[in-house]
């Protein structure tokens, strides 16, 4: 079986696909609004500090465990110790649950792309958005379409599907982003947005904000559901894994920063609020687009950009469970993907309806969408990371790593895996429980 496993066609293919996984809605949709809710620049400083220190460790660890074991999640955990396979199984389950709500937002993006002409003529964007997501049929169809697109590329395999999609969508994303940043920086009063992003107000520093930054950092780097472990397992030989991790972190942060530089100057230029939450991208921005010359084209470009980011991440979310099905159940990739399409759709459809006709159906006091978001982002992702760090810190002998340059960094990494990251994660999980 092992000989049949796919491998990346080149180092570039691996790096761009891993960056494609990291750069997603987390950067362009979530990062600006979480930053807006947590005080702007001070959040950014904390986030960058965390991403370069605490997050570096689990990211390298996930990729390394994949590369070392050359197995999908369940098999990888099992290879470390057969008892751990049940923990491994939590990864594809998390993946399926995350995809159910992530792909709904993907469906919304498709709507905003298709309606680019109409969008400039709306009078109340908030009302338009809440009416649209509450519809019973149309958002469901769009969600199904988005699931289909992600699953389709995954089904075509590593070389012809996953790599190809990333090689097309990622450069497109970068070009559109730079184009929109230039437009945004040329709006009147753009510097107010930049000040908000880059001039820290230390009075806003608090523990809750630090945890929000940590949660955002883990989510944006795609840590915690075996997506990167699976990608790591397709690496043939690579003695420069640490360098790849730096590249992933640097690129992901650059994309998030550029997304901020694209969004905040526009928001401030039009005297709007930066802390409008999840509606920032779907309500505030379209309103801004409607007020600038060629706004409909700019809006189109923006939502295509968001689509590119979401698809490449969506593919990585599907690939984890897909690898588990193909390798453990001996299924063909196509069959596994067809099955995943059905499973994800069955969860995603009621979740989509939770904005409308199923709005009164509550799980632990939350709508299905909020519950899935909460369960996966606040609890499952950090728990999976916690488990994997402890497993590799305590059971996988670090000495065999041979990826870090010297004894000192090996010891730091070891202490990080065994103590520092788990403690940070426990705080995150406890805060998430509230
Ligand atoms: N990192 C992606 C984003 O920022 C989302 C994502 C893809 C993800 N794969 C993941 C999040 C795995 C957690 C785990 O949008």
Name the residue with tokens 């491994």.
88
Contacts of 432 (CB under 8 A, 6+ apart): 215, 374, 377, 378, 379, 382
Contacts of 397 (CB under 8 A, 6+ apart): none
17, 20, 24: residue to mutate for ligand 1 pocket, most atoms within 8 A of CB: 24
pLDDT at res. 204: 87
Tell me how many domains the chain contains.
1
* CB of 376 shorter than 6 A to ligand 1: no
pLDDT at res. 1: 45
**Helix, strand, coil proportions of the chain in percent (round to 5)?**
80, 0, 20
Tell me the pLDDT of the chain (434 aa) as tens digits.
Answer: 445 789 999 999 999 999 999 999 999 989 998 998 899 999 999 999 999 999 999 999 999 999 999 999 999 999 999 999 999 999 999 999 999 889 999 999 999 999 998 888 898 999 999 999 999 999 999 999 999 999 999 999 999 999 999 999 999 999 999 999 999 999 999 999 999 999 998 998 999 899 999 999 999 999 999 999 999 999 987 778 999 999 999 999 999 999 999 999 999 999 888 887 778 899 989 999 998 999 999 999 999 999 999 999 999 999 999 999 999 999 999 999 999 999 999 999 999 999 999 999 999 999 999 999 889 988 999 999 999 999 999 988 654 556 777 888 888 999 999 999 999 999 999 998 87
- What's the 105 CA to ligand 1 centre distance in angstroms? 13
Query: Ligand 1: which atom is nearest the Cα of residue 376?
Result: 13
pLDDT at res. 279: 83
Q: What is the enclosing helix (H) or strand (E) of 32?
A: helix 31-37
Contact in structure between 97 and 372 (CB atoms under 8 Å) = yes
CATH of the domain at 358: 1.20.1740
pLDDT at res. 432: 85
CA-nearest of 51, 24, 97 to 308 is 24
Q: Nearest C-alpha to atom 6 of ligand 1 is from which residue?
A: 222
- What's the 366 CA to ligand 1 centre distance in angstroms? 22
* CB of 377 shorter than 6 A to ligand 1: no
Domain extent at residue 7: 2-433
């Amino acid at each position: 079986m092992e000989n049949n496993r796919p491998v990346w066609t080149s180092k570039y293919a691996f790096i761009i696909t891993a960056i494609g996984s990291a750069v997603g809605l987390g950067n362009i949709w979530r990062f600006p609004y979480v930053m807006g809710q947590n005080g702007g620049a001070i959040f950014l400083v904390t986030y960058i500090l965390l991403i370069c220190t605490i997050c570096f460790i689990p990211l390298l660890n996930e990729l390394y465990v994949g590369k070392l074991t050359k197995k999908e999640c369940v098999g990888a955990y099992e290879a470390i110790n057969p008892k751990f396979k049940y923990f491994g199984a939590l990864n594809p389950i998390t993946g399926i649950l995350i995809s159910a709500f992530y792909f709904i937002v993907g469906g919304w993006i498709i709507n905003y792309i298709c309606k680019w002409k109409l969008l400039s003529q709306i009078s109340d964007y908030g009302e338009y958005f809440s009416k649209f997501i509450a519809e019973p049929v149309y958002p469901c169809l769009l969600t199904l379409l988005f699931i289909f697109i992600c699953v389709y590329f995954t089904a075509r395999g590593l070389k012809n599907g996953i790599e190809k999609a990333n090689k097309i969508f990622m450069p497109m994303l970068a070009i559109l982003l730079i184009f929109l940043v230039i437009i945004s920086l040329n709006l009147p009063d753009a510097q107010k947005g930049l000040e908000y992003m880059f001039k820290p107000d230390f009075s806003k520093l608090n523990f809750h904000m630090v945890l929000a930054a940590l949660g955002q950092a883990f989510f944006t780097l795609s840590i915690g559901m075996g997506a990167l472990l699976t990608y790591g397992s397709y690496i043939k030989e690579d003695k420069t894994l640490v360098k790849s991790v730096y590249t992933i972190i640097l690129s992901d942060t650059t994309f998030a920063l550029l997304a901020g530089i694209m969004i905040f100057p526009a928001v401030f230029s039009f005297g709007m609020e930066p802390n409008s939450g999840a509606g920032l991208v779907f309500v505030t921005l379209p309103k801004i687009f409607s007020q600038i010359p060629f706004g409909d084209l700019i809006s189109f470009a923006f939502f295509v950009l968001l689509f590119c980011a979401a698809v490449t991440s969506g593919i990585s979310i599907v690939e984890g469970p897909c690898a588990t099905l193909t390798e453990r159940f001996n299924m063909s990739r196509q069959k596994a993907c067809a099955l995943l399409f059905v499973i994800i759709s069955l969860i995603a459809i009621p979740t989509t309806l939770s904005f409308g006709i199923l709005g009164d159906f509550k799980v632990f006091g939350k709508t299905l969408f909020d519950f899935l978001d909460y369960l996966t982002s606040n609890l499952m992702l950090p728990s999976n990371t916690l488990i994997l760090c402890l497993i590799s810190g305590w059971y996988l002998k670090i000495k065999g790593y041979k990826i870090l340059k010297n004894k000192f960094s090996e010891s730091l990494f070891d202490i990080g895996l065994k103590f520092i990251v788990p403690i940070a994660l426990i705080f995150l999980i406890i805060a998430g429980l509230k």
